[in-house]
Structure 1
Amino acid sequence: MFLENSLNNYLNYIKLKNYSAHTLLNYRIDLVQFVEFMRGKKLSTWAQVGVNEVRAYLAYLSGLGLARTTIARKIASLRSFFKYLTLQGVVDQNPLHNLRTPKCPKKLPEFLYVREINELLRFDDNTPKGLRDRAILEVLYGTGIRVSELTGLNLGDLDLERGCLRVYGKGAKERLTFLGRQGCKALADYLQKGRPFYLAQGATPDERAVFLNKDGTRLSARSVRRLIDAYVRRAALEKKVSPHTLRHSFATHLLEGGADLRTVQELLGHVNISTTQIYTHLSRDQVKKAYNQAHPRA
């Protein structure tokens, strides 16, 4: 029971630090799996868990045939958990402190070309749902915010006259992001003509939330993903598109348009610029164009 008590305390702790629901779920899965493994080793306190036990667990994960990225995530979960236990005085030292995380292959982020974005944002549906969904897609692409930041938006976070949105990112970090003319118009149309319809549907509607569901309460991240899937099928895009794909597209198109990396980092809410540097990839057409313009023998 002692193992579970510390685990539950940790999960409550990171929940208060405004970790996303997705991260909370993954950490819970990873750590419950680790607890079960330790119980199989007849360990009953966290102080009994040392480097050898952690290495045995990682060997067990490798034996399951898990991808390096999955194992790396599980190590990150454990490292964060033991850091918490150390701060709480439950253990004397973090057994993962000097453990190296396996190197994962870096993948270029999936993004949509501008013509594909235009197809996705082609709307002629002026129903409350159509107004809401267009506003969601325009805001995701126009600001580059995460889906959790979108669903967490409140009316007080909007300043459409200035084209500004206040969002709360990872670790409850607050930042301002900007929305262009078309995005502001789509959002204003939804607020004036679509949102009142959703408010009227619920017995106890959410008066603060910007984006509402059919019950008048705050729209979930899962619902946003589902509606994106529907519009991707409508646009006949031969790609798997998620809210994060629109975030990747936002960053890619800004850099292609001449924005500097530091500005994009600020808009995305990245703590380290190294996280933003993955967006500096260029399309083959751009590389060929640059080559033809710059090389004297082209």
Structure 2
Amino acid sequence: MSKQPKASPSFAALVQAYFAEYLTQQRALSAQTIAAYRDGFVLFLGFAESRLGKSPVTMALADITPELIMAFLDHLERQRHNSVRSRNARLAALRSFLKFAAHRDVASLQVIERALGVPVKRFERPMFGYLSREEMLAVIDTQDGTWIGQRDHVMFLLLYNTGARVSEITGVKVGEVVLDDGAACVHLHGKGRKQRSVPLWRSTVKAVRAWLRLNPQFEMASPLLPNRNGHAMTRTNVAL
């Protein structure tokens, strides 16, 4: 007797395999990257549900047309006011999933090929402005003497000293700052689990030491720059 052809996996099964197996086990991407892909998918599925009138569990690969993707990207820019860079990042997440699906559902190759034809959007990279050293020091030295003011003073010093991303600085723990004379540095954890150590200036070391004396309750695993609740600061905390 001839074998029955193997049924194509459902859209829901493909999404689950993509996040549970491919990104975490085969690609071994960082938790931050997976979270970004997940957030993009949540936005896309919510948009697709409202536009197609289908819940995510009833969707099929055939529903992911170039027209749907373009409408979603336009929605990100017009309704959610995303930048072109963010728009392209969401598209990159969708393209990654479609390329994965092409290996799991050969019968849908033509559909996937059409969807992959949606291009990224070109944009002009703006020239970055910058503060002079005197202007930067004026910003750093502006503090009101409060606990939050002293914390922000240390944060600005670390940002200026290291050139690190905001997320890298807010993620620093007390035990990751070395204040020994001649070997002072901070250990940073960047995107993609990249790690590096950056030397600290004497002025930065002095400020961090004063900050730790002000907070003797800090432990080695405590965030160096916590919010009012003692947790690591978020980007929103920094923006405010």
Question: Aligned letter for 1:148?
Answer: S
CA RMSD of aligned residues (A): 3.8
- Label 1:64 to 1:133 Cα distance change in 2 as closer, same or farther (>3 A): closer
Q: Is the 8 A contact 1:3 1:35 kept in 2?
A: no
| Cα drift, residue 82 of structure 1 | 2.9
Q: Is the 8 A contact 2:157 2:204 kept in 1?
A: yes
Q: In the alignment, which residue of structure 2 is the partner of 1:202?
A: none
Q: Is the 8 A contact 1:143 1:177 kept in 2?
A: yes
- Label 1:25 to 1:71 Cα distance change in 2 as closer, same or farther (>3 A): same
- Label 1:196 to 1:106 Cα distance change in 2 as closer, same or farther (>3 A): same
| Residue 163 of structure 2 corresponds to residue 144 of structure 1 | yes
Which whole-Å CA distance do the structure 1 matches of 2:175 and 2:220 have between them? 13
Which whole-Å CA distance do the structure 1 matches of 2:101 and 2:145 have between them? 53
Q: Is the 8 A contact 1:128 1:190 kept in 2?
A: no
Which whole-Å CA distance do the structure 2 matches of 1:20 and 1:187 have between them? 31
Q: In the alignment, which residue of structure 2 is the partner of 1:32?
A: 45
Q: In the alignment, which residue of structure 2 is the partner of 1:54?
A: 66
Q: Is the 8 A contact 2:143 2:150 kept in 1?
A: no
TM-score (norm: length of structure 2): 0.69
Which whole-Å CA distance do the structure 2 matches of 1:40 and 1:33 have between them? 10
| Cα drift, residue 186 of structure 1 | 1.4
- Label 1:65 to 1:182 Cα distance change in 2 as closer, same or farther (>3 A): closer
| Cα drift, residue 138 of structure 1 | 0.4
Q: Is the 8 A contact 1:68 1:102 kept in 2?
A: no
Query: Which stretch of structure 1 is more off in the superposition, 132-141 or 70-79?
Result: 70-79
| Candidates 212, 222, 230, aligned match of 2:226 | 212
Superimposed CA distance per residue, residues 169-207 of structure 1 (whole angstroms, 9 cap, x where no aligned partner): 1122222223222122212211122x336x5xxxxx995
Give 5+ residue unaligned stretches, structure 1: 200-204, 227-298
1:1-298 correspondence to structure 2 within 5 Å: 7=15, 17-19=30-32, 23=36, 27-28=40-41, 30-36=43-49, 39-40=52-53, 44-49=58-63, 53-59=65-71, 61-62=73-74, 66=78, 69=84, 70-85=86-101, 89=104, 95=113, 97-123=116-142, 125-161=144-180, 162-193=183-214, 195-196=215-216, 207-226=221-240
Question: Aligned letter for 1:79?
Answer: R
- Label 1:63 to 1:122 Cα distance change in 2 as closer, same or farther (>3 A): closer
Q: Is the 8 A contact 1:11 1:28 kept in 2?
A: no
Question: Aligned letter for 1:109?
Answer: F
- Label 1:100 to 1:24 Cα distance change in 2 as closer, same or farther (>3 A): closer
Which whole-Å CA distance do the structure 2 matches of 1:25 and 1:59 have between them? 19
- 3-state SS of 2:134 partner: helix
Give 5+ residue unaligned stretches, structure 2: 1-9
| Cα drift, residue 225 of structure 1 | 1.5
Which whole-Å CA distance do the structure 1 matches of 2:179 and 2:190 have between them? 20
Superimposed CA distance per residue, residues 31-79 of structure 1 (whole angstroms, 9 cap, x where no aligned partner): 33453267448994443256xx124431564488747715423312312
Q: Greater Rg, structure 1 or structure 2?
A: 2
- 3-state SS of 1:167 partner: strand
Percent identity between matched residues is 23
Superimposed CA distance per residue, residues 192-235 of structure 1 (whole angstroms, 9 cap, x where no aligned partner): 22x336x5xxxxx9952211222223222211121xxxxxxxxx
Which whole-Å CA distance do the structure 1 matches of 2:156 and 2:41 have between them? 30
Which whole-Å CA distance do the structure 1 matches of 2:160 and 2:38 have between them? 26
Which whole-Å CA distance do the structure 2 matches of 1:221 and 1:42 have between them? 32
Which whole-Å CA distance do the structure 1 matches of 2:53 and 2:146 have between them? 56
Which whole-Å CA distance do the structure 1 matches of 2:220 and 2:190 have between them? 21
Q: In the alignment, which residue of structure 2 is the partner of 1:271?
A: none
TM-score (norm: length of structure 1): 0.57
Question: Aligned letter for 2:192?
Answer: G
Question: Aligned letter for 2:62?
Answer: Q
Q: Is the 8 A contact 1:46 1:90 kept in 2?
A: no
